[in-house]
Amino acid sequence: MFFDSNQLLASFVTVFLAAAVASLLALRREGSRRLTRAVGTAVLAAGAVLALASWTRFGDLHSVFVDAPDVTAGQPHRRKIERKEPFHFHEFFHYYLGAKYFGDLGYEGLYDCTALGDQENAREVGVPPHIGGWVRDLDDVLRDKPYDAAVARCRDEYVPRMNPARWSAFKADLRELQTLVPDEWWGEVVYDAGFNPPPSWVLLGGAVANLIPIRLGHLPTYLLSKSLDVALLVACFLVLRSTFGAPVAATAAIFFGASFIASYGWNGGAFLRYTWLSAVVFGLASAKRGRWVLAGAMFGAAACDRLFPAGFAVGAAIPLAWRALRSAPDRRRLARLGLGFGGAVGALVLASLLVFGFDAWRVFFTRIVRHGDVYYTMHIGLKKVITFRDWVPSQNFHGHVGLQRFHDWNVRLRETWAASRWIAVPVQLAALGGAGFVSLRRRPYEAGLLVGVVAMFCFSLPANYYYVVLCLVPAILLQGALVSPSSLGRAREWGVAMAFALFWLTTLLAPRLYGDDILYDHFICEGLLAFLGVWIAAWLPWDRGAALVRARTGAAPAPAPGV
């Protein structure tokens, strides 16, 4: 669990603050609008500071265990000094080394060559290797392989095609990381699920990783590479503030920080893990500003970072396409959005093909299809709701024996999903169809967010930390309430925002109520499904009846949402 009692308390306080201020801003009376907004913004800003401090574990960050200055590097049981730094070893190993050596190791050689590199490093200083026993088989993450088989594969398949200087650099990077963490962590890091972003992401990640070394002399330059995500997050909040206003940006910051499912323990202190989120935020903001080519390019970059963000682009295009049927300006907007999206995707995919070749994409798609059908304990999606049975929770997947249980568990879940298609497909179609229908009359950035979230929940099974994008939901709902021309519209946006706050509170409480991570993950999935239903239902055109009444009485119609 990556959430302590202090974070829980701070999260509850800030979420309640956000809900209270949103209520005041959305349901305000006209005469008190300016004062309410000024006071509300100040309160939200204070809540954002507290939430973001909570996200960093109030400065506790992550623990690194550096070698003491008087010890010999690599020696077993050497003295270590604990420090608190923004350094997530597990994430850094996968995304920094995976990107830096992708051209040499591809998707399937990282663990095998880490085992061999560790073995050779250990032999050079006359100590036992840090890795032994079993290594996860990246050809099939539901299985593992004996240590000797992993070492032999790297020696026979990968090292012969690597430049000797490149292999030496890889081993040197392993030695540098060994000075930062306990030796026993290495057996765990080669037992995860590997390095899985598309080659189009590796273009950026690999370039940065090869540019910034882990250490330059005595300078810990690995901290520089970790700061890039922080810079991206700061840019996201600044863009939200400049585009939507301070209350919206502060609300997004509150729900970003007051998060269990995307807490600091998952991706904080990682290497370029928020690039896709930043691209989605920039895309939504560009759509709000009417910069359609830039919006499309940002959505395209997000889709090339992680495939599922393509749903945000589709959502943003829906209201434009609907209006384009009878509006020449909207046809031009839609064309510019498509041009930006297609241009970004085409450029990134073509560049990755030139650098890494077609086979990298073939392996990626083969792996990602398999990966999307693996039921990890803390992934969130419709599959988790529909396949849940009484035999699903209370599992132990640790170690070699546990991985065999994990394999059998997954096989049974896949069979359950296949047998449940009769209900799954109608639910998927109803959710996507409902989201698409209500998006027809929404602003493109609103439609993009709704369809993007619905698509990622219903048609994929992302890890929980990808749902960090949900922090935008209450912020955009607050924006809708602030700009709505009618009291009914404000009340509707406020109601959905309150439903989201209630759902968010359940995500904070679930781990405390259910000690089994499979069980509380299931309840989080159910809660998100229920909220999505509320969101879609609330955005249905219930005001059609009100429009008929206005037509009969001769009242002026309320303006429809613009672009």
Give the model confidence (pLDDT) of 168-209 as tens digits: 999 999 999 999 999 999 999 999 989 999 999 999 999 999
CB 195 within 8 A of CB 94: yes
* Secondary structure of residue 62 in the 3-state scheme: strand
Structural domain boundaries of the chain?
5-56+227-553, 108-194
Distance separating alpha carbons of residues 368 and 372, to the nearest angstrom? 6
Mean pLDDT of 79-103: 95
Distance separating alpha carbons of residues 490 and 512, to the nearest angstrom? 34
**In the predicted structure, residue 563 carries a pLDDT above the cut 70:** no
pLDDT at 383: 97
**In the predicted structure, residue 390 carries a pLDDT above the cut 70:** yes
Integer angstrom CA distances of residue 563 from 236, 296, 368, 492: 21, 15, 35, 20
CB 361 within 8 A of CB 198: yes
pLDDT at 559: 41
Residue-wise pLDDT tens digits, 467-525: 999 999 999 999 999 998 888 889 999 999 999 999 999 999 999 888 899 999 999 99
Q: Residue 442: which of 405, 499, 496, 366 has the closest Cα?
A: 496
DSSP code of residue 184? G
**In the predicted structure, residue 89 carries a pLDDT above the cut 70:** yes
Greatest pairwise CA separation for the chain in angstroms: 91
Residue-wise pLDDT tens digits, 430-478: 999 999 999 999 999 999 999 999 999 999 999 999 999 999 999 999 9
**In the predicted structure, residue 536 carries a pLDDT above the cut 60:** yes
Mean pLDDT of 252-274: 96
Distance separating alpha carbons of residues 91 and 97, to the nearest angstrom? 10
Considering the entire predicted model, what is its pTM? 0.94
**In the predicted structure, residue 557 carries a pLDDT above the cut 50:** no
Is the CA virtual torsion 502, 504, 505, 506 positive or negative? Answer: positive
**In the predicted structure, residue 550 carries a pLDDT above the cut 70:** no
pLDDT at 1: 56
Q: Lowest-pLDDT range, 14-28, 90-104, 290-304?
A: 14-28
Residue-wise pLDDT tens digits, 209-260: 999 999 998 899 999 999 999 999 999 999 999 999 999 999 999 999 999 9
**In the predicted structure, residue 166 carries a pLDDT above the cut 60:** yes
pLDDT at 449: 98
Q: Which amino acid is at 119?
A: Q
Q: Residue 436: which of 422, 454, 416, 421 has the closest Cα?
A: 454
The residue behind tokens 């201020």 is 21
**In the predicted structure, residue 389 carries a pLDDT above the cut 80:** yes
pLDDT at 17: 94
Q: Which of 37-46, 97-106, 509-518 has the highest mean pLDDT?
A: 97-106
pLDDT at 31: 54
pLDDT at 42: 94
* 385's tokens: 């709701």
Mean pLDDT of 319-348: 97
**In the predicted structure, residue 548 carries a pLDDT above the cut 60:** no
DSSP code of residue 390? T
Percent of the chain at pLDDT exceeding 90? 84
Mean pLDDT of 256-279: 96
Integer Rg of the chain from CA = 25
pLDDT at 71: 84
**In the predicted structure, residue 155 carries a pLDDT above the cut 70:** yes
If pLDDT is split at 50, 70 and 90, which confidence band does 543 have?
low
Q: Lowest-pLDDT range, 80-94, 207-221, 548-562?
A: 548-562
pLDDT at 75: 81
If pLDDT is split at 50, 70 and 90, which confidence band does 74 have?
confident
pLDDT at 554: 43
* Secondary structure of residue 406 in the 3-state scheme: helix
Q: Lowest-pLDDT range, 23-27, 297-301, 381-385?
A: 23-27
pLDDT at 549: 41
Residue-wise pLDDT tens digits, 2-26: 788 999 999 999 999 999 999 988 8
CB 200 within 8 A of CB 348: yes
CB 18 within 8 A of CB 44: yes
If pLDDT is split at 50, 70 and 90, which confidence band does 404 have?
very high
Percent of the chain at pLDDT exceeding 70? 95
